[in-house]
Amino acid sequence: MKETIHEQELILLKGLARNDKKSVEEIYKHNFNLIQALIVNNSGTAEDAKDVFQEAMVVLYEKARSGNFELNCQIRTYLYSVSKRLWLKKLQQSNRFISDPGDEGMANVPVEDDLTEHDEKETEFEMMHQSINKLGEPCKSLLEAFYFQKKSMQDIADGFGYTNSENAKTQKYKCLMRLKKIFFTNYTKKD
Amino acid sequence: MHDHENTILIEAVERYILGEMTPDERLNFENLRKADAEVDQMVVEHTLFLQKMNRFNEWQKFHKSLNDIHTNLAESGKINSVRLKGKAKVVYLFNRYKRVAGIAAAIAGITTLMVSAIISSVTPKASPSQIDYLSKELNSIKNKTIVQDREINSLKSRGAALQNNIEIPYTKGGTGFIIDAKGYLVTNNHVIEGANNVAVQNSDGKEFYATVVYSDATTDIAILKITDKDFKALPAVPYAFSRKQADLAETIYTMGFPRDEIVYGQGYLSSRTGYDGDTLSCQIDIPVNRGNSGSPVLNYNGEVIGIVNGRQKDAQGSAFALQSRNIFNALSKLKEKENADSTAKSLKLNTKSSLNGMNHLQQVKKVQDYIYMVKVN
């Protein structure tokens, strides 16, 4: 079933892909209650609802970011379908069997492929997360300052108390090599 | 020297990837790539890795903004927020089902109750009541006499200057230990929570006034500073602080003040995570009692690996300790505080233990001077 996508929704999705606060908030505001009702009515807690909804948002975010994205249904329908799959999966994992809750008039779209892709990405992010945490200080903060907060080497040298930016660079290089090593050791293990 | 060359090369690769090179530089670099397969490989590999890091960063940022938005929307009432646990949840679910089920309300209600019962029995949510915090409530009458005794003693030793000091009956207590010889101690937040007055007492029974300079309920860490003018800086802290996790089954010991006398206990690390998989803490097998909260957990290399903070109510013998990296975090947060004074800013945790190689009797003897009873009212 193909539904027409509103101009409005396309703009929202473009905003979402940029992690634009307004767009994300808009989507969040309009869909959270629906998903929360779904989870809470199917033996979940408010906390579960938040987790599931946010994960569904991440799936949508990834989809919006992938250049070739085609959303042939409403954002609402998509989030609902993803959340439902995620929640059923979670229930199964914890051995809390529950019958399919039915769709209460909500259209459902196939999202399996997106979810598989999402799972892979999630594993990789988790690995990166663990690897960075394993680095310890000051490596962790040093790399984060340079690569994530995009601080200049001079600022970093001042902030961390290196005598000059050359020393900071050498340190950064060593940290990066360690991070790579930790990450790829895990990476090959998982494969 | 090898490192130095590599540093330069990586920097070049990064500037190349980010398009920060001048056209000339770029041309040169591309020629180098063509000529040197190793450099070429490095560029490819590094591009891939930077992409991974970037995507991870964006993913993390997105998660953060989701959380912020959730809190905002919930606070401004734009989304229904339900934060119900336990009984309230049953009621909530019951109401919810009643509404949804309409005609079949009765049947739905029963199902809901059953479902909720099952959920609450299987949901592994950590309920704080499952963990006993080990701060002790001092018996106030007994305590008063002890305090008086001690007050007399300390007055005797401190001379007449303090005679007009008001006597404070302390009602709650725990343990704390020195992290800096200038008089900084660490203990649990729950020990000093809601405190009007805090005093610490060393193993000789000498009491000093202290103030809370940092406390954080989520990590359950607090840092105290001894402000008493009678306090003289101690010799350098003998134990070291280690950021790395202790090993399973590693022999560890703790010393604290479950009663007025210092008590030593030995055991082993039984799990690298704490209650309900909490990664900030770990599980230790050492008999602990009320009053042990805030005691250091040490290994025989003289390294502090954690701080005792609780035990599980239904399992005797197993206790929990916060991992010592929390102390590092607390200390850096303390330094970030605007009103942190220059001594606080210069605090540094000792990372070289002077106890290494001593037998354990000697170690314990050294360490006990750095462990204080924390008293709170």
B267-289, pLDDT tens digit by residue?
888 888 887 778 888 888 888 88
Mark whether A44 and A137 lie in a shared domain: no
Subunit contact A25:B82, Cβ cutoff 8 A: no
Query: Does a structural domain hold residue A101?
Result: yes
Query: Does a structural domain hold residue A184?
Result: yes
Query: Does a structural domain hold residue A13?
Result: yes
**Residue that wins the pLDDT comparison between A7 and B300:** B300
Task: Point out the residue among B10, B58, B78 whose CB comes nearest to the CB of A29.
Answer: B78
Over pLDDT 90: what percentage of chain A? 2
Residue of B nearest to A173 (CA): B7
- Helix orientation angle between B23-35 and B2-17, rounded to the nearest 10 degrees: 120
Q: What does the pLDDT average to over B364-371?
A: 90
Which tokens in the block code for residue B239? Answer: 């134990």
Confidence band of B165 (pLDDT split at 50, 70, 90) = very low
Residue of A nearest to B244 (CA): A136
Q: B239: closest CA among B180, B285, B327?
A: B180
pLDDT averaged over chain B?
78
Q: How far is B142 from chain A (nearest CA, A)?
A: 45
Q: A127: closest CA among A63, A66, A188?
A: A188
Mark whether A138 and A92 lie in a shared domain: no
- The rounded distance, in Å, linking the Cα atoms of A11 and B373 is 62
Cβ-based contacts of A57 with chain B (< 8 Å) = 66
Query: Does a structural domain hold residue A58?
Result: yes
Which tokens in the block code for residue B278? Answer: 């909490």
Which of A109, A129, A146 is a domain's end point? A109
Collect contacts of B148-151 with beta carbons under 8 A, ≥24 apart. Answer: B150/B201, B150/B205, B150/B207, B151/B207
Query: Does a structural domain hold residue A47?
Result: yes
Query: E-strand spans in chain B?
Result: 131-133, 136-137, 172-180, 184-187, 198-201, 207-216, 221-226, 240-241, 251-256, 263-271, 281-285, 296-299, 303-312, 319-323, 371-376
Mark whether A80 and A124 lie in a shared domain: no
Mark whether A102 and A121 lie in a shared domain: no
Query: Residue A23: is its pLDDT beyond 70?
Result: yes
- The rounded distance, in Å, linking the Cα atoms of A8 and B78 is 20
Q: Set out the domains of chain B in order of their start, with CATH numbers.
A: 2-72 (no CATH), 87-123 (no CATH), 133-376 (2.40.10.120)
B50-84, pLDDT tens digit by residue?
888 888 888 888 888 888 888 888 877 777 765 54
Determine the pLDDT at residue B354. Answer: 85
Domain CATH number, residue A158: 1.10.10
Confidence band of B186 (pLDDT split at 50, 70, 90) = very high
Query: Does a structural domain hold residue A163?
Result: yes
Instruction: Mark out chain A residues that contact chain B at CB-CB < 8 A.
Output: 19, 21, 24-25, 28-29, 32-33, 36, 40-41, 43, 45-47, 50, 54, 57-58, 61, 94, 96, 121, 124-125, 128-129, 136-137, 147-148, 169-170, 172-174, 176, 180, 183
Tally of residues, chain B = 377
Confidence band of B175 (pLDDT split at 50, 70, 90) = very high
Confidence band of B370 (pLDDT split at 50, 70, 90) = very high
- The rounded distance, in Å, linking the Cα atoms of B215 and B187 is 9
Mark whether A58 and A83 lie in a shared domain: yes
A89-133, pLDDT tens digit by residue?
888 877 655 556 565 556 677 777 788 888 888 888 888 888 888
Q: What does the pLDDT average to over A18-33?
A: 87
- DSSP for B104-141? GHHHHHHHHHHHHHHHHHH-----GGGEEE--EEPPHH
Determine the pLDDT at residue B146. Answer: 55
- The rounded distance, in Å, linking the Cα atoms of A76 and B318 is 48
Subunit contact B66:A58, Cβ cutoff 8 A: yes
Query: Does a structural domain hold residue A1?
Result: no
Q: Does B56 touch chain A (CB under 8 A)?
A: yes
User: Residue A123 corresponds to which amino acid?
Assistant: T
Determine the pLDDT at residue B156. Answer: 45
Cβ-based contacts of A137 with chain B (< 8 Å) = 243, 328
Domain CATH number, residue A28: 1.10.1740
Which of A90, A109, A128 is a domain's end point? A109
Q: What does the pLDDT average to over B8-22?
A: 81
To test the contact with chain B by mutation, choose from A45, A83, A160 the residue with the greatest count of B C-beta atoms within 10 A, namely A45
Mark whether A19 and A101 lie in a shared domain: yes
Task: Point out the residue among A33, A45, A148 whose CB comes nearest to the CB of B89.
Answer: A45
Cβ-based contacts of A58 with chain B (< 8 Å) = 59, 62-63, 66
Mark whether A23 and A57 lie in a shared domain: yes
Cβ-based contacts of B77 with chain A (< 8 Å) = none
Mark whether A29 and A102 lie in a shared domain: yes
Mark whether A20 and A59 lie in a shared domain: yes
With beta carbons less than 8 A apart as the criterion, state whether A112 and A175 touch.
no
Mark whether A104 and A120 lie in a shared domain: no
Task: Point out the residue among B49, B59, B66 whose CB comes nearest to the CB of A125.
Answer: B59
Confidence band of B136 (pLDDT split at 50, 70, 90) = low
Q: How far is A97 from chain B (nearest CA, A)?
A: 11
Mark whether A91 and A148 lie in a shared domain: no
Subunit contact B58:A19, Cβ cutoff 8 A: yes
- The rounded distance, in Å, linking the Cα atoms of B370 and B179 is 9
B316-366, pLDDT tens digit by residue?
667 889 988 889 988 888 888 877 787 888 888 888 888 887 888 888 888
Which of A65, A90, A109 is a domain's end point? A109
How many structural domains does chain A have? 2
ipTM of predicted assembly, 2 dp: 0.83
Mark whether A11 and A88 lie in a shared domain: yes
**Residue that wins the pLDDT comparison between B187 and B125:** B187
Question: How many CB atoms lie under 10 A from the CB of residue B225?
Answer: 22
Q: Does B343 touch chain A (CB under 8 A)?
A: no
Q: What range defines the domain where residue A150 resides?
A: 115-190
Cβ-based contacts of A174 with chain B (< 8 Å) = 3
Q: Does B279 touch chain A (CB under 8 A)?
A: no
Subunit contact A54:B55, Cβ cutoff 8 A: no
